[in-house]
Amino acid sequence: MKKIDDIKLHPGNTVKEAMAIIDRGSVQFAVIVDDDLKLLGVLTDGDIRRGLLRGLGLESSIESLINKHPVVANINDTKERILELANEKKLHQIPIISNGKLIGIQDIREFLAPKNKPNKVILMVGGLGTRLRPLTNDVPKPMLDVGNKPILHTIVENFAKYGYTDIIMCVNYKSEIIKEYFGDGDKFGVKIEYVLENQRMGTAGALSLLQKRPKDDFFVMNGDLLTNVNFEYLHEYHKDSNACASICVRKYDMQVPYGVVNVRANKVTSIEEKPTQSFFVSAGIYMFSPVVLDFIPKGVFYDMPTLLAELLKQGFAVHPFFIREYWLDIGKMDEYRRANDEYEGVFGL
Question: What amino acid is encoded at 203 in this protein?
Answer: T
Positions of the chain with pLDDT lower than 50, given as ranges: none
CA distances from 113 to 73, 109, 116, 163 (A): 19, 6, 10, 9
Q: Which CATH code for domain 117-347? A: 3.90.550.10
In the chain, list all ranges with CATH 3.10.580.10. Answer: 8-112
Q: For all residues of the chain together, what is the average pLDDT?
A: 87
CA distances from 346 to 19, 225, 237, 239, 249 (A): 42, 13, 24, 28, 20
Decide if 329 contacts 335 (C-beta within 8 A). Answer: yes
Decide if 136 contacts 144 (C-beta within 8 A). Answer: yes
Question: What amino acid is encoded at 7 in this protein?
Answer: I
In the chain, list all ranges with CATH 3.90.550.10. Answer: 117-347
Tens of pLDDT, residues 231-257: 988 998 898 888 899 999 888 888 888
8-112: CATH architecture = Roll (3.10)
Tens of pLDDT, residues 11-58: 889 988 888 888 776 677 888 998 888 988 998 877 887 887 788 888
Q: Supply the DSSP string of 23-86, one letter for each residue.
A: HHSSSSEEEEE-TT-BEEEEEEHHHHHHHHHTT--TTSBSGGG-BSS---EETT--HHHHHHHH
Structure confidence at residue 241 (pLDDT): 84
